[in-house]
Structure 1
């Protein structure tokens, strides 16, 4: 199967190239970049030298794919860009008879709550993802929070407090005063306190499960490059008092290949470069602490997009993803 990455020069695009280049069903990868058109992909993603030989394209000539039985397209553009281009793309795909043969996975927030797209939280929405042709990948924080919260949806705890830390790659490849290494390294700060955009998709998923918690979410910016670590705290309500809370999580994820229940604390380093999520639960009296670690560019972005591709195509969801990250890093 042929694949295309729209907006391939960012960190998400680089990770898509890396994962797709070792995927057994992907025969070719093309990537676009307006600012880097004509340059080798490895000039922007140097880890791919000798692995990916293509040049970045400025645009895609969709007509050359009109005879393909199936095509997978990843949109890895900055938030807000793809939404403006999508209607005209769909019109062109329909004109060429391609629309029903294209599997589209958008990595931005543009379609995360949209009736025309399946929300691609792989472990939770696998049944809806299978066979779908339009998928919106969840946000990185949203993935961590939901994997740590949704097993408790049947018990509907009221107040959820979340503190989560992310690395600088979560802000993208373009440097700013808050992501530039000299001003971010050796520092630690909160940002978008109680107002992060990922809250909306978390609460939307909770509501679909019949749960309307009060969520207090404070994200933090660290000097890490990759990784997310979330601590989720709550107080047990009456329906939870006689439950084995860690057992709820172990049972919920027992058949989920990429969710690893660990004792003690998870570690970001154990997940970086992979699609794995490490999760643990600690209780003390009526207090519950859930900890989640993942790679924001892996399970939080590109690797989960590949997992969603696998599900949509009817492949084992771990195809091309059974890979541990480096340790130590």
Structure 2
């Protein structure tokens, strides 16, 4: 296929920085541009110092659609705050139509704007990946939604009557702009729950489970953890009669046998083993008819930018691990 030309809207944020990091080493990517109005003219490393000397380029004030129209394989990653891409959608479409860009542009939106829109393909890579092959409009899942769906989808065959999930996330999940409740100094030595039983990612999870044939009451309590990167989720549920831990583990191993970036580990997974990588690690436990599945992943990696690159790979007909076979750091 032709070499890919990438444009990242909102390249100055954490998600944009991760996209720059992954795509700079991607063998199919020929060029990367990035927008950030408030940082226009500054080099990428001004916001992402770890990319100094590795990723060349400067932030642009606005997208250059005419330049993208010259590409044979243009790809757009929208890494804007929730709601911003949807606001500009109609204007962008008009410009793409004028330039002859609309029919060849592959779009991956990292925000929540189109995740429940049936006109977009939901980009949960490890569930029916064939849906993403050749897709032009992909809605990247939320970070919590990714973790919960990886934990729960294998259970759709058994359809437990109830599931309770707790999941802790790092401060980077709230983005680069701090607020009183998300700023790291106010949470570094604290631990709390938030949006209890009403987090916005529940809708994504419930829709996917229903599509898989399992409509289930979901009790989800997200938590704010004193770490920068990572998600650790624990799902608990009743097991079918006769299912012990060995059976539960074998069930998950079979379900994810062909999914390179999902690893089934002994005991509990560890967040630090996934930090900076595209991997999600799962562990299981069972006792007296009660089951638990634990998931660890990097909220900026498998939960965001790395999964977005996987989506691009599948959409363009590339092996999904292209540019992503890298371990994170250890210890985290």
**What is the TM-score with the length of structure 2 in the denominator?**
0.97
For structure 2, the 5+ residue unaligned runs are none
Going from structure 1 to structure 2, the CA distance change for 1:241 and 1:51 (only over 3 Å counts) comes to closer
Equivalent in 217, 220, 223 of residue 220 of structure 2: 217
Q: Is 1:265 equivalent to 2:252 in the alignment?
A: no
SS in 1 for 2:229: coil
Q: 1:227 maps to what in 2?
A: 230
Distance 2:294 2:131 in 1: 27
**Structure 2: distance between partners of 1:315 and 1:51:** 24
Q: Alpha-carbon deviations, 1:64-108, whole Å to 9, x = none? A: 232321101000000111111112111211121111111100000
The residue that corresponds to 1:97 in the other structure is 100
Residues 26 and 285 (structure 1), Cα distance of their counterparts in 2 relative to 1, 3 Å cut: same
The structural deviation recorded for 1:116 is 1.4
Between the aligned partners of 1:97 and 1:131, the Cα distance in structure 2 is: 19
1:247 is matched with 250
RMSD across aligned positions (CA)? 1.4
Change over 3 Å in CA distance of 1:84–1:239 after alignment to 2: farther
Query: What displacement does 1:236 show?
Result: 1.8
Equivalent residue number for residue 200 of structure 1: 203
Q: Which secondary structure state, in structure 2, belongs to the residue aligned with residue 153 of structure 1?
A: helix
SS in 2 for 1:135: strand
Determine the C-alpha separation between the residues in 2 that align with 1:221 and 1:67: 44
CA contact (8 A) 1:170 1:296 kept: yes
Q: Check whether the contact 2:78–2:109 (CA below 8 A) recurs between aligned residues.
A: yes
Q: Which residue of 2 aligns with 1:59?
A: 62
Does the 8 Å CA contact 1:229/1:268 hold for their aligned counterparts? yes
- Give the Cα–Cα distance (whole angstroms) in 2 for the partners of residues 21 and 254 of structure 1: 29
Q: In the TM superposition, what are the counterparts of 1:2-151 in structure 2 within 5 Å?
A: 2-151=5-154
CA drift of 1:53 comes to 2.0
Question: What is the TM-score normalised by the length of structure 1?
Answer: 0.97
Larger deviation, residues 44-53 vs 139-148: 44-53
**How far, CA to CA, are the matches of 2:193 and 2:245 in structure 1?**
36
Residues 1:120 and 1:69: Cα distance change in structure 2 (over 3 Å)? same
Conserved? CA contact 1:187–1:223, under 8 Å: yes
SS in 2 for 1:123: coil
Contact 1:155–1:239 (CA<8 Å) still a contact in 2? Answer: no
Instruction: Give 5+ residue unaligned stretches, structure 1.
Output: none
Q: Deviations over 1:1-57 (max 9, x none)?
A: 110000111000000000000000101100001111111111011011111221100
Q: Give 1:318's aligned residue.
A: 321
Query: Which stretch of structure 1 is more off in the superposition, 214-223 or 62-71?
Result: 62-71
Contact 2:43–2:59 (Cα < 8 Å) also in 1: yes
